[in-house]
Amino acid sequence: MRLMPIALFLPYLANTGGWFLAEFGRQPWLVYNLQTLEEGVSTVVPASSIVISLVGLVLIYTLLMIADIYLLAAGARKSPELLGAPEGKEGSLWT
Amino acid sequence: MDLNILWFILVGVLFIGFFFLEGFDYGVGMLTPFAGKTDGERRVVINSIGPFWDGNEVWLITAGGAVFAAFPHWYATLFSGFYLALFVILLALIARGVSFEFRSKVASPAWRKLWDWVICVSSFLPALLWGVAVSNFITGVPIDANMEYAGTFFTLLTPFTLLGGVVTFLLFLYHGAAFLSLKIGDEAILERVGRIGRVSGVVLVPVTVAWVVFAFLTTGLKSSPVALAAVAVAAVALVLSVVLAWTKHWGVSFIASAVTIAFVTVTVFAAMFPNVMISSLNPEWSLTIYNASSSPYTLKIMTIVALCLVPIVLIYQIMNFVIFKKRVTQDKLEY
């Protein structure tokens, strides 16, 4: 049982690992046997726009991850009785 | 009627559905901090769109998907050309989606206030930018001989397109106020949204007239009889809606504002037909429903699939509105 909290991270590891496998495994193809990564690069969107969007996405997802971890930790600390509380009290989804 | 025209109309219908439905929930989002003064009141305002907003957003995804599958060149040119503008909309929609959920998870007033303002700003940005985007649809943007966008982000921002942004911002704000007037059972909130609705309606009329006159003088609007007829219907519906808002007939007023949104969208689509992306450099370089479309075989399969699935989507969305038709109050938050 003491090992169980570690298992929390395993699905994320498996999920991320799967994506790494899919994305790196098919290099240099973007669409397997049809289009390479270099052929797929946009000729219209400037590199600066790509940088802006990449930084923007990394930022917003980092913020969301921090907020998520905070909320999950706060939720985990609550006693089980509170989670089943009647509506309007703590534990209700819409208050 | 060939399938290219059918799919152009269908994309238009999906955008009408999106602007009509998401229009009021952008409006409600923008109104959240102003319509509700206490935490409980704001919860009522948010819950009025609680069961609907994510379903409404699906119309945009469907519209985007339909453009991608039926007119891939339109999709490619649009999404590459409007890259940063669409990115800002995307960021706003990400922030908006989580703020509805995050808001209630912590009881601290500062936390809730933060997310209320995130809801407001992330509803305002797309409401404004959609007007900028559709205005660019009818003025045309620099597109070269290879169907590629040759401008920058700032090429999209002209006085006309920014005015279009103000039109959709005010229109959605007004539409949202009309929706709240029908969905809320709390007198203090009704009082506030009623006032905002009436005032924004009065401001909306001259701004819309200015945009239409501008469009008439500078775009292809005047040469399309369908667009002219549609803009006339939209104008009558808008004036009627505002008059009905002042006499507090919110039900009919809301229907009239929905008609306004629908026919403004028809105007935009009719004004650009048969083009889907007008080139401001050379009319011959414009993307049309023929040179930008998929193969006839693809369109045929898509038509069969759409005929089977769209009625089901319509049925469950209508069921959703019927099930959650009651007004929301602080005592009855969860239906």
> Is a pLDDT exceeding 70 seen at residue B249?
yes
CB contact under 8 A, B148 and A44: yes
Q: Let me know how many helices (H) and strands (E) chain A has, helices first.
A: 5, 2
Domain assignment of residue B333, yes or no: no
Domain assignment of residue B82, yes or no: yes
Helix, coil or strand: residue A33: coil
> How many domains is chain B built from?
1
Domain assignment of residue A92, yes or no: no
Nearest CA in chain B to A52: B84
> Is a pLDDT exceeding 80 seen at residue A94?
no
pLDDT at B335: 54
Domain assignment of residue A75, yes or no: yes
Yes or no: say if B132 and B85 are a contact pair by the CB < 8 Å rule: yes
Domain assignment of residue B59, yes or no: yes
Nearest CA in chain A to B83: A45
Domain assignment of residue A72, yes or no: yes
Yes or no: say if B328 and B183 are a contact pair by the CB < 8 Å rule: yes
- Around Cβ B230, how many Cβ atoms within 10 Å? 22
Confidence of residue B48 (pLDDT cuts 50, 70, 90): confident
Q: Which tokens go with B205?
A: 């009329």
Domain at B301, CATH number = 1.20.1630.10
Domain assignment of residue B25, yes or no: yes
Which residue in this structure is represented by tokens 């620099």? B142
* pLDDT (tens digit per residue) in B267-303: 999 999 888 888 888 888 888 888 888 888 988 999 9
Domain assignment of residue A94, yes or no: no
Nearest CA in chain A to B97: A64
Domain assignment of residue A54, yes or no: yes
Find the largest Cα–Cα distance for chain A: 58
CB contact under 8 A, B94 and A60: yes
> Is a pLDDT exceeding 50 seen at residue A71?
yes
> Is a pLDDT exceeding 80 seen at residue B32?
yes
User: Taking Cα atoms as reference points, which of A72, A35, A58 lies closest to residue B105?
Assistant: A72
Pairing of strands B287-288, A35-36: unpaired
Helix, coil or strand: residue A88: coil
Stretch (H or E) spanning B107: none
Neighboring chain A residues of B87 at a CB cutoff of 8 Å: 49, 52-53, 56
Alpha-carbon distances of B33 from B13, B46, B106, B119, B124, rounded to whole Å: 32, 10, 18, 9, 12
- Around Cβ B301, how many Cβ atoms within 10 Å? 13
- Around Cβ A20, how many Cβ atoms within 10 Å? 10
Domain assignment of residue B330, yes or no: no
Domain assignment of residue A71, yes or no: yes
> Is a pLDDT exceeding 60 seen at residue B191?
yes
In this complex, the residue of B83, B87, B148 whose CB is nearest that of residue A43 is B148
Residues A76 and A53 in one domain: yes
> Is a pLDDT exceeding 90 seen at residue B310?
no
Residues A32 and A65 in one domain: no
Q: Chain B interface, mutation test: which of A35, A54, A95, most B Cβ atoms within 10 Å? A: A95
Residues A1 and A12 in one domain: yes
Cis peptide upstream of residue A28 (ω within 30 degrees of 0) = yes
Paired strand residues for B275: B288
Residues A34 and A13 in one domain: yes
For chains A and B, CB pairs below 8 A equal 51
Neighboring chain A residues of B84 at a CB cutoff of 8 Å: 49, 52-53
Residue A51 domain boundaries: 43-82
* pLDDT (tens digit per residue) in A52-61: 999 999 999 9
- Within chain A, strands assigned E span 29-31, 35-36
Average pLDDT over residues B309-324: 87
pLDDT at A84: 55
Nearest CA in chain A to B86: A53
Residues A33 and A6 in one domain: yes
Integer Rg of chain B from CA: 20
Domain assignment of residue B228, yes or no: yes
Stretch (H or E) spanning B275: strand B275-277
Q: Range with the lowest mean pLDDT among A69-83, B87-101, B193-207?
A: A69-83
Confidence of residue B317 (pLDDT cuts 50, 70, 90): confident
pLDDT at B108: 85
Q: Chain A interface, mutation test: which of B102, B154, B287, most A Cβ atoms within 10 Å? A: B102
Cα separation, B20 vs B259, whole angstroms: 8
Domain assignment of residue B334, yes or no: no
Residues A8 and A34 in one domain: yes
Confidence of residue A80 (pLDDT cuts 50, 70, 90): low
Cα separation, B120 vs B118, whole angstroms: 5
Neighboring chain A residues of B95 at a CB cutoff of 8 Å: 60
Residue B51 domain boundaries: 3-141+148-272+292-323
Domain assignment of residue B162, yes or no: yes
Domain assignment of residue A26, yes or no: yes
* pLDDT (tens digit per residue) in B125-167: 999 999 999 999 998 888 888 888 888 888 889 999 999 999 9
Residues A48 and A32 in one domain: no
> How many domains is chain A built from?
2
Stretch (H or E) spanning B208: helix B187-218
CB contact under 8 A, A44 and B80: yes
* Interface predicted TM-score (ipTM) over 0.85: no
